[in-house]
Amino acid sequence: MPIHNDHIKEKLNAQFGDGIISWDESSDILSLEVAPSIHLKLLTFLYDEPTLGFQFLTDLTGIHYPDQPARELGVVYHVHNLKENTRLRIKVFVPIEKPDVFTTTGLFSGANWMERETYDFFGINFVGHPNLKRVLNVDEMDYHPLRKEYPLEDQTRIDKDDEMFGR
Amino acid sequence: MARPVRFNLNPKDFTDRGINQVELPDGHMGEGFFATSFDKVVGLARKNSIWPLPFATSCCGIEFMATMGSHYDLARFGSERVGFSPRQCDLLMVMGTIAKKMGPVVRQVYLQMAEPRWVMAVGACASSGGIFDTYSVLQGIDQVVPVDVYVPGCPPRPEAIIDGVLKIQDLIHNESLRRRNGEQYKHLLETYGIQ
């Protein structure tokens, strides 16, 4: 029996009324955007509260919206209550100049590599992460390739600059 | 009663079907002896017993498996012995996309091979990065190791891979024994930071 969306909203609004920025329901999953200051508390609450019990982190990823001033970089958490088969999506947005987000590795061990990946590709600084270094790209890489200011193609090469390749 | 299976009772004449034997190099022949120059014999021996080292990371590797299989059969060219240790092999065949993170591995494998060694880049990805014109993919293995023969195709058919092996054989056959000590070769390796 899936947990009713109204119950989740009620519980979270009662606990974190100020920190919740917006609610949304897209693709049949309840979503909420929260302030970066409370997102770890909120995830812990979702984990511990007996009537919620979101104890499984399905996925964690980053996103970059260059057009949103002061909240360009985002982290999206998908949590799952396996008993009730209910999913919830949580978004946190931070400014690109200071992309600090608290780590969730204390809560979900599986977040370790996912946060490293998000750091690798988006440069989000997970405060308190035990081993925040690149996991997929080469260690020598000096930028975060999935940020929008970097074109997809490798810009260092010189042999594909003719009109055949559109450079 | 006719036999259900036709055995080879009437062997066919293959002499006009292009079955080649390795030709004798130039030299002097007499009764019981044959004299020729040493590098021709060495080239002949090397070229017809190449041990390939497959470095297969994607679909070109599947085409290589077809090349090694009975239908195309690289063994016809003396290369049936695929070695999986770089220390034993002569020909590094890089088949497939090499990510930048894999680049040092390719280089390490090349360094572990003993001279003389040859490298073949099979397919668009190994030759130039192919369609993966992106931040994570090495844009051609010639950025990390010197390459002798490039085989085009995405992926190349087994015929193309065989053609590349024959090109390698030509190189081996015509290579001077002193080439690997030459200034040009040393300079080439230096540009890759090897030795």
Residue-wise pLDDT for B90-113, tens only, equals 999 999 999 999 999 999 999 999
Query: To the nearest whole angstrom, how far is the Cα of A151 from the nearest Cα of chain B?
Result: 9
Nearest CA in chain B to A155: B135
Strands B33-35 and B28-30 come out as antiparallel
Report whether pLDDT(B23) > 60.
Answer: yes
B134 touches chain A (CB under 8 A): yes
Does the CB of A162 have a partner CB in chain B at under 8 Å? no
Q: Which domains does chain B have, with CATH numbers?
A: 51-161 (3.40.50.12280)
Q: Which segments in chain A show pLDDT lower than 70? A: 154-167
For testing the chain B interface, which of A154, A158, A164, A165 should be mutated: the one with the most B CBs within 10 Å? A154
User: Residue B1 pLDDT more than 70?
Assistant: no
Cα–Cα distance measured from residue B73 to residue B75, given in angstroms and rounded to the nearest whole number: 5
- The ipTM of this complex is 0.74
Task: List the structure tokens of B160.
Answer: 């193309």
CA distance B170 to chain A (A): 28
Inter-chain contacts counted by CB atoms under 8 A, chains A and B: 30
B133–A contact, CB cutoff 8 A: yes
Higher pLDDT, B115 or B56: B56
Closest CA relative to residue B174, chosen from B42, B28, B27: B42
B107 lies within 8 A of chain A by CB: no
> Is the CB of residue A167 less than 8 Å away from at least one CB of chain B?
no
| Interchain proximity B139–A160, CB inside 8 Å | yes
How much is the average pLDDT of B132-153?
A: 90
What is the pLDDT, as a whole number, of residue B56? 93
**pLDDT at residue A164, rounded to an integer:** 62
Is the Cα dihedral B173, B175, B176, B180 positive or negative? negative
Q: Tell me the HSE value of A163 on the side-chain side, using a 13 A CA sphere.
A: 0
Residues B170-194: tens digit of each pLDDT: 999 888 888 888 888 899 999 998 8
Residue B84, SS3 per DSSP: coil
Q: What domains, with CATH codes, occur in chain A?
A: 5-127 (3.30.460.80)
- The DSSP annotation for A20-34 comes to EEEEEEETTEEEEEE
Which amino acid, one-letter code, is at A110?
G
* Cα(B118)–Cα(B166) distance, integer angstroms: 13
Option in A138, A152, A165 nearest B100 (CB): A138
Residue A85 is predicted with a pLDDT of: 92
The pairing of beta strand B149-151 with beta strand B91-95? unpaired
Identify the band that residue B139 occupies on the pLDDT scale cut at 50, 70 and 90.
confident
- CB of B135 within 8 A of CB of A154? yes
How close A138 gets to chain B, by Cα (Å)?
Answer: 5
Nearest beta carbon to residue B101 from set A138, A153, A159: A138
CB contact under 8 A, B134 and A160: no
Query: Mean pLDDT over residues B154-159, rounded?
Result: 93
Between strands A29-34 and A20-26, the pairing is antiparallel
- Spatial separation of the C-alpha atoms in residues A117 and A134, rounded to whole Å: 7
Torsion of the alpha carbons at A145, A136, B145 and B141, rounded to the nearest 10: -60
pLDDT of residue A161: 61
With an 8 Å Cβ cutoff, is A138 touching chain B? yes
Length of chain B: 195
pLDDT for B171: 92
Tell me if chain B has a CB within 8 Å of the CB of A137: yes
Q: What's the pTM value of the predicted model, to 2 decimals?
A: 0.80
Q: Is B108 touching A (CB cutoff 8 A)? A: no
% of chain B exceeding 70 in pLDDT: 89
Return d(Cα A111, Cα A57) in angstroms, integer.
7
CB neighbours (10 Å) of residue B167?
16
A138 to chain B: closest CA residue: B101
The alpha carbon of residue A109 is apart from the nearest alpha carbon of chain B, in Å, by: 26
Backbone angles phi, psi at B166, to 5 degrees: -65, -35
Do the chains contact at A160 and B135, CB–CB below 8 Å?
no
Query: Contact B134/A153, CB-based, under 8 Å?
Result: yes
Which chain B residues touch A120 with a CB distance below 8 Å? none
At A165 the pLDDT is 58
Option in A154, A160, A165 nearest B135 (CB): A154
B116 preceded by cis ω (within 30°)? Answer: yes
pLDDT of residue A156: 63
Reference B81, options B58, B57, B53; nearest CA is: B53
pLDDT recorded at residue B26 = 86
Instruction: Output phi, psi for A43, to 5 deg.
Output: -65, -40
